[in-house]
Structures are given as C-alpha cells and as structure tokens.
Structure 1
C-alpha cells in the first residue's frame, strides 16, 4: 500500500513518546537489571512499583516497573504540547469509538487513557513532575549510561492500517520496508520528535510490544554493557548485536530483561524534523535493511514480544519473511 502523505496539522499535538509501564513478576530482579545493570535512575520505589528515569530526562519517569503475576505491558505514554490538546485528543478518540477515560496517575497532571483500534493501551498527558537535572552528575553514570527513552517498536497484524491511524494523529513516516510481491508495508518507522522514530510497526502477531529503546552516548557504551552483562550473570539476556541497522543507520544492541521484555540500546540515528522529508523505502529482500553489518537477527527477534494488558492478538495475513539467522 502507498505510504500516506504526512498529516502536518493533526487534531492534537503530540510532542514525543514519554514512558512505558512494564508488569514484572519479580520486582527485585527487575530492579537489578534496569538499575544496577542498565544504569537507569530510581526516582521513587516501594514494594509494588519502581519509577525510573534516564540521565538527561527531567520528567519523573520513563519506565514504571509494577509487581504483577504476569509479565506484560500496562501502557505506552506520550506527552502532548499543551492542555487544550488533551481535550482535542479525547474528542478524536471518542469520534473513533475508542475508549476515553480520565485517570489519576502519580506524578502526572490530567491524564487521558485510551486504546488504539487494535487495543494498545495509550495515555496522554501534558504535565509530569519535574526533577532536578542530573546530566552533569557524572558519578551517577553507570551501566550503559542511558540518556533518554527513544522509541517503541510494536508488532502489528496490519502495518498499513497502523501507519494510516498513527499518520492521522501526526506521526510521520521516515523509513519503511515493503514486500515487493504484494506491495504491502512490512514495517514502518514514524516520528514526532525529529529522530527516525518515536513509534515503529513490524509485521507479525499483534498487537505486541517488540521493544523499548534507549539512546546512549556512543557505541563504546554498548561495548561496556556487553562486558558487564557477560560477567554478571546476564550473558543469556543478550539477544542480538552489536551491529548497525540499515534502516535508521543506528548502532544497536538488543537485550532481554528477566521477564523477557526486550530493550534496545541505540545511538547514531539522524535528524528528520523537516516536514517535507521523503520516506526512505527498503526492499524486504535487501539484507542490509535490518543489518547494515553484523549477524542476522535470530528467530526470537521476529517472533517474540510482550503482550499488552487487555489486548487480544491476531496473526498477520502477510506471510512474507525477511532474512533470519540460522
């Protein structure tokens, strides 16, 4: 399907992605992974929840870890430009017969909860508690030295439909992969903040969260993390990489937390803020699309993901298959 023209005047103004809520089955094990190993900073915690932020972030949290019986994803969060945008967002989702609920969320102002047409739980807000800057408190830099949350990648059973909906609310396509035989989109990268993506959609059993990504200072930080994980009991949590993507041009590493939630460590993509920037098209059969250099992705990377709380999954009708490592 053709990639839609960008919607430069959406019904409400999304600034960027903001945060994710992970349900985890062992809060202490998750803390050891995200704090002691990756290096995220604790902003608040008790025996049920841990709030985390990265080094350059002023908002109270980018990840919330919640003790639960089942590992899944509670919500994906996005920051809006100003308060009227919240009411405009509520009107938009209600007009699409999607749920609209005003909820109280710790450390956040007025907050809208809804779902996209496939059941992905979303929340939108304008104000989050601001914390003191810590980006120059270098004694706090640990692990991979995560600077900020960068993007979400989701499995979708119909990538063209996902692109159309998120285009309607202002996300713009930067790069995409098309199946040459059917013409359908196999994956697409879409942004609001001027990087390659805030959200991406990959063909597969969906909806599921493929990964959350964090931006780090340099590729050498990724090498440091590999040394750390390989000597502290996490070698089996290293899933893919390091390498460089063709799409996005980013240097990457994929790791799994103790519950299997996938985290990408990411740097070196490019600026995309021009509103008339043309999307880059890749063929599904181009081996440098997913890996400009490095080993091909393992089967788990294409097939495994985190379910969303309250969302039913369905398989994709598109059966085209990219290159998988033996």
Structure 2
C-alpha cells in the first residue's frame, strides 16, 4: 500500500510529543531506575507520583510515574501550538466520533483526552509550566545524561491504518518498512518536530506501547550507562544493543524498567524539516533494517510491550515475519 501524501495543512498544529504517564508498582524502585541510574531530574514527587524532566527541557515534565497495582501505559501527550488549536483539535476528534474529555492536569493548561482509532489514549494541551533552564548546570548531569524525550513507538494491529490516521493529523513519514509479499506496511516512522519521528508504529498485537525514547549527547553516554547498569544490579534490564539502526541511522540501546516498560536511549539521527523530503523505504527482510551492522533483534523486542490502560489489544492483521535473533 503506498505511503499517503503528507498533509501540510492539518486541522490543528501539533508541535511535538510531550510526555507519557506510566503506572509502576514500586515507586522507590522506579525512582532508583529513572533518577539514580538514567539521570532524569525530579521536578515534583509525593507518595503516589513522581514527575521527571530531562536536562534540556523547560517544561515541567516529560514522564510521570504513578504508583498502581499493575504496570500500564496511560496517555501519550502532545503539545499544540496554542489554545485556539486545542479547540480545533477537540472539535476534530469529537466530530469524527472519537470520545473526548476535558481534564485537569497538574502543571498544564486545560487538556483533553481522546483515543486514536485503535484505542491508543492521547492527551493534548497547549501550555505547561516552565521551569528555569538547567542544561548548563553540569553538576546535575549523571547516568546517561538524558537531554530530552524523543519519541514513542507503538505496536499497531494495522500499520497502514495508523499511518493514514496520523497523516491526517499532520505527521509525515520519514522511513518505512514494507512487506514485499503483500505490499503492506510493517512499520513506519512519523514526525512533527523535524527529527526522524515523534511516533512510530510496529506491526504486532496492539495497541501497546513498544517504547519511549530519550535523546542523549553521544554514543559514549550509552556505553557509560551500560557500565553503570552492569555494576549496580541492573544488568538483567539490558535488552538489546548497543547498536546503530539502519532505519534512522541512530545509535541505540533498549533497556527495561523494573516493571518491564521499555526505554530506548537514542542519539545521532538526522534532520527532516523539509516538507518535500521523500520517505526512505526498507524491505522487511533486509538485515540492515534493524541494525546497520546486521544484528537482528531478540524475540522479546517483537512480542513484548506495555498495555494501555482501558484498551484491549488485538492480533495484527499482517502475519509477515521479520528476522529474529536465535
């Protein structure tokens, strides 16, 4: 199925992804992982919730950890251009039959929740409380030195349908994987902010959250994190990498938090600002698609993900098989 043409004049203007809320079962253990090991900065916390930001971010938070009985992913949140575009966005979803709900969120202007056609919970807002800059407070840098949240990747039961819907929202495809036999999309990378992606979709039982990614300064920061995790009790949480993706050209590492939520540590992709930039096609069987160096991903990477709260995943409609590590 062909990639849809970019929609350069969507009904409302999404600036970028903003943050995600994860339900975790042991807040202290999660704090040790995200703060003490990865190096995210605490902006507020109590006995039930921890708000975190990365070093370059001025918004109050990029990830929210909330204590709960079972690990879940909650809303994927996106920042809009202004309050007028927030109204336009709510109207867009409501008039197309998506349930919308205005909600109050700490540290944000008014926000609304909805779901995409497959049930991914989405949140939109226009303003978040600003905090003083800390990117030059080098005494605070530790762990992998995370600079900013970069993207979400979700399992989709129908990647073609996901791409069609998010194209309508103004997301543009930068790279994609096509199944040669069926001509259907197996995966796609889509952006708003001018990197390779804010949202990616991977074929599989879904919707589920595959991973949340954080941008770091250099590949050497990833090596430092591996040494740290290997000597502080987190070696079992290293899932895949380090390596360099064929898709995106990014240097990467995949790790799992104490509840199994997958985090990608990521750097070195490329700029995609030009509106007429042609998407790059990859064949599903190309061994350099996953990793430029040819190393395939483990089985867990294709099968495991975080359940979205309030959404029951369904099997993928495409049965194509990628290359999997033995």
Map of 1:33-44 to 2, 5 A cutoff?
A: 33-44=33-44
1:229-267 deviations in Å (ceiling 9; x for gaps): 000000010000000000000000000000000000000
Q: Specify the alignment match of 1:86 in structure 2.
A: 86
1:66-215 matches, within 5 Å, as: 66-215=66-215
Corresponding position of 2:236: 236
What does residue 299 of structure 1 align with? 299
Aligned twin of 1:61: 61
Tell me how far apart the structure 1 counterparts of residues 5 and 255 of structure 2 sit (CA, whole Å).
35
Q: State the match for 1:219 in structure 2.
A: 219
Is this contact kept in 2: 1:196–1:272, CA < 8 A? yes
Which whole-Å CA distance do the structure 2 matches of 1:49 and 1:135 have between them?
A: 24
1:296 CA drift (Å): 1.6
* Contact in 2 for aligned 1:242/1:294 (Cα 8 Å): no
State whether residues 52 and 60 of structure 1, in contact with CA within 8 Å, keep that contact through their aligned partners in structure 2: yes
Residue matched to 2:324: 324
Report the RMSD for the aligned CA atoms in angstroms: 0.6
1:191 and 1:198 in contact (8 A); partners too: yes
Paired residues of 1:171 and 1:192 also in contact (CA < 8 A) = yes
Deviation at 1:295, TM superposition (A): 3.0
- Using the alignment, how far apart are the partners of 1:54 and 1:269 within structure 2? 18
Partner of 2:30: 30
- Structure-1 residue corresponding to 2:12: 12
Alpha-carbon deviation of 1:294?
A: 5.8
TM-score using structure 2 length: 0.99
1:157, 1:314 within 8 Å by CA — same for their partners in 2?
Answer: yes
The 2-side partners of 1:15 and 1:188 are apart by 19
Which stretch has the larger CA shift, 115-124 or 213-222?
115-124
What is the CA–CA distance in structure 2 between the aligned matches of 1:282 and 1:296, rounded to whole Å? Answer: 15
Q: Which residue of 2 aligns with 1:279?
A: 279
- Preserved CA contact (<8 Å) 1:243 1:294: no
Structure 1 moving runs of 4+ over 2 Å: none
Per-residue deviation at 1:32? 0.3
Distance 1:101 1:8 in 2: 27
Cα distance in 1 for partners of 2:99, 2:196 equals 29
Q: Is the 1:241–1:294 Cα contact (8 Å) retained in structure 2?
A: no
Taking structure 1 as the reference length, the TM-score comes to 0.99
Q: Secondary structure at the match of 1:213?
A: strand
How many angstroms does 1:74 deviate by? 1.1
- Provide the rounded CA distance (Å) in 2 between the counterparts of 1:86 and 1:317: 33
Q: Shift of the alpha carbon at 1:11? A: 0.5
Q: Is the 8 A contact 1:187 1:203 kept in 2?
A: yes
Q: 3-state DSSP class of the match of 2:287?
A: coil
- Structure 1 match to 2:264: 264
Instruction: Judge conservation of contact 1:241–1:295 (CA < 8 Å) in 2.
Output: no
Shift of residue 112 of structure 1? 1.2
* Alignment gaps of 5+ in structure 2: none
Equivalent pairs counted in the alignment come to 326
Q: Decide whether the 8 Å contact of 1:211 with 1:262 is kept in 2.
A: yes
8 A contact 2:287–2:295 mirrored in 1: no
